[in-house]
């Protein structure tokens, strides 16, 4: 992917201004406009995203995006209850599956994380209820959300806290940078650059979203911060990609 323009925005053939990575291919444009940054409360989608962010490590998100249907077929739609029952035969099957990234360590990590997800769901009621306790405080978000501000953020205090808590619970491939990319994609933050045509849409979706509450507090999870009032600016975002100045990590 080419270097980002100074403001992190490009104008597409439809004359809409987008985060530059969102106009680099048709696949990215659909993902940028239809998915990235919209709040998610579905446990399977959240689990899928955690796993695919782990598989992305060292690769571009576009590689994972184009193999996503293969991953879904191979991992039973990322239903944690089904993946948790996978055994060595499934590992061997997946290692031979050209439709996914055939990394044994990441395949085994996904199975382990499914088992850990079931434990967490048993404790707090849903994966969504757990994850949304980590929606960051407004003070952590850069304002205005310029490309310069967003590209400087590869992780945050909140993504570090989420990473540490998941690791404490036995999850793997959940480092703070990976967790920040997860937060960007699943709508815990709005990292569409100021001027992107999707920023206001995502901000509206976040205002209308009612985060699920845990059935009981999860251990070592800080109280969920208060949301900023409607219309308040959000902090910068990290675009999908492997390195700064290139397309953001969008999953």
Q: Could you give the residue numbers annotated as active site?
A: 31, 53, 61
Residue with tokens 């809409």: 16
Cβ atoms of residues 183 and 36 within 8 Å: no
CA distance 174 to 211: 22
Cβ atoms of residues 46 and 131 within 8 Å: yes
Cβ atoms of residues 238 and 181 within 8 Å: yes
Report the DSSP beta bridge partners of residue 18: 10
Nearest alpha carbon to residue 152 among 1, 46, 4, 39: 4
**Residue 148 three-state SS:** helix
Residue with tokens 């044994």: 104
Nearest alpha carbon to residue 174 among 44, 120, 183: 183
Nearest alpha carbon to residue 235 among 163, 133, 135: 135
Q: Give the distance from CA 74 to its chain's centroid.
A: 20
Q: How far apart, in Å, are the Cα atoms of 91 and each of 47, 113, 131?
A: 18, 14, 27
Cβ atoms of residues 226 and 141 within 8 Å: no
């Amino acid at each position: 992917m080419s270097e980002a323009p100074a403001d992190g925005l490009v104008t597409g053939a439809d004359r809409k201004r987008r985060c530059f990575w969102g106009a680099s291919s048709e696949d990215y444009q659909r993902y940028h406009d239809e998915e990235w940054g919209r709040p998610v409360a579905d446990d399977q989608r959240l689990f899928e995203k955690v796993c695919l962010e782990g598989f992305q490590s060292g690769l571009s998100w576009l590689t994972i995006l184009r193999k996503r249907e293969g991953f879904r077929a191979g991992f039973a739609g990322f239903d944690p209850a089904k993946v948790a029952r996978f055994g060595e035969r499934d590992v061997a099957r997946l290692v031979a599956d050209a439709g996914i990234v055939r990394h044994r360590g990441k395949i085994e990590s996904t199975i382990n994380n499914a088992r850990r997800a079931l434990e967490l769901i048993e404790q707090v009621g849903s994966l969504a209820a757990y994850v949304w306790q980590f929606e960051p405080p407004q003070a952590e978000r850069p304002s205005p959300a310029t490309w310069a501000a967003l590209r400087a953020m590869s992780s945050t205090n909140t993504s570090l806290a989420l990473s540490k808590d998941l690791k404490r619970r036995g999850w793997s491939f959940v480092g703070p940078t990976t967790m920040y990319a997860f937060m960007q994609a699943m709508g815990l933050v709005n990292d569409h650059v100021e001027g992107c045509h999707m920023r206001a849409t995502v901000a509206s979706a976040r205002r209308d979203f009612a985060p699920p509450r845990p059935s009981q507090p999860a251990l070592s999870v800080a109280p969920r911060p208060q949301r900023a009032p409607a219309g308040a600016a959000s902090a910068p975002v990290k675009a999908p990609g492997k390195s700064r100045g290139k397309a953001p990590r969008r999953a």
